Amino acid sequence: MTLRKPYPPIEPYRMGRLEVGGGHELYFEECGNPEGMPVVFLHGGPGSGASAHHRRLFDPQRYRIILFDQRGCGRSVPLGSLEANTTWHLVDDLERLRRHLKVDRWLLFGGSWGATLALAYAEAHAGRALGLILRGIFSGRRSELDWFYEWGANRLFPDQWENLVARIPANEQDDLIAAYRRRLTDPDRAVRAQAASAWTAWEAATVMLRTSTPPLPSTAATQTDGQIAFARIENHFFFHELWLEEGQLLADIERLADTPGIIVQGRYDVVTPAITSWQIAQAWPKADYRLVEGAGHAFGEPAILHELLEATDRFVTDH
């Protein structure tokens, strides 16, 4: 089978900013066909931001492609702000953006944290979701956080784990998320940069099943404001357990009983192991579950990317 490549690069036909309260202003853009099926891309992290690569997941002739940077991320301001920045603020932001763009209903597309946000929004506003395309679902349960920051992934990546733990004194290593929070919220930028370096290096080392080149060294000196913002926001959400009740997204999946979904999951995804997406698919009658062999977490893995492109084409054709 020949694996598909993304659609050609495309530029936005509209860019704008939307004030959403709490001192936050979101960047958004629209690409593709203004008369096409509306789809909103929800980036991961939390904290990363949308990019030009994400525009290329959708047929520009058939989709009205909406991308935006969540609070404190990317081109939204203030960069790295943790104030008034919770899951439910972001759900409200999505509704505000939908109304601002005069969209009646839209397709939600998200991977990892983007899948979390898509589910939280759709379960709260099921009538506004044409459907969901999700990759590597993270539902925010304690077991998922513990897997990645306590007892699971470290057994597969002990060398990279050592780099993460080495920055933290032994008496704080029983709660790495809290330990890193103290450093990522420190008033000294150098302290924040050092913590961000280790935090982001751990994630970068685990997102791909395999890579032909080792990740570039990450040091405090090379950390940009955007990278520090990413680490701060991601840690902030994890420290607060995403402001979700334990198991909430799985328990409320029944609200999507009439909503179609496509789930793409890498078999060897270390960041968001397949058990979560599997359990959600079992409880969601209209979910089309695609377990991808020989793939990990990142959307850029060839087999994952192929399935995502197939999913966006299939959805717009079928609906």
Q: Within 10 Å of residue 213's Cβ, how many Cβ atoms?
A: 5
- Is the separation of the CB atoms in 274 and 265 below 8 Å? yes
112-148 pLDDT, tens digit per residue, is 999 999 999 999 999 999 999 999 999 999 999 999 9
What one-character DSSP code corresponds to residue 141? -
Annotation marks residue 297 as catalytic: yes
pLDDT > 60? residue 216: no
Query: pLDDT tens digit string along 69-106?
Result: 999 999 999 999 999 999 999 999 999 999 999 999 99
Q: What would the mean pLDDT of 241-248 be, rounded to a whole number? A: 98
CATH architecture group of domain 14-141+243-318: 3-Layer(aba) Sandwich (3.40)
Q: Please say if 269 is a catalytic residue.
A: yes
Give the side-chain half-sphere CA count within 13 A for 21: 11
pLDDT exceeds 70 at position 212 = no
Please list the residue range(s) of the chain that carry CATH number 3.40.50.1820: 14-141+243-318
**Cα gap 100→90, rounded to integer Å:** 15
The single residue of 93, 269, 277, 306 carrying the catalytic annotation is 269
Record the tokens describing residue 271, joined without a space: 């960041």
DSSP 8-state assignment for residue 62: T
- Which of 143-147, 217-221, 236-240 shows the lowest mean pLDDT across its residues? 217-221
* Cβ-based neighbours of 26, under 8 Å, separated by 6 or more: 17, 18, 19, 20, 68, 69, 70, 71, 76, 93, 97
Residue 213 clears pLDDT 90, i.e. is over it: no
Q: Residue 169 — very low, low, confident or very high, per pLDDT cuts 50/70/90?
A: very high
**Catalytic residue from among 76, 112, 139, 277:** 112
Between the two ends of the chain, the Cα-to-Cα distance in Å is 26
Which pTM value belongs to this model?
A: 0.97
112 given a catalytic annotation: yes
222 pLDDT band, cuts 50/70/90, is: confident
Q: How far apart are CA 281 and CA 8, in angstroms?
A: 32
% of the chain surpassing 90 pLDDT:
95
pLDDT exceeds cutoff 60 at 215: no
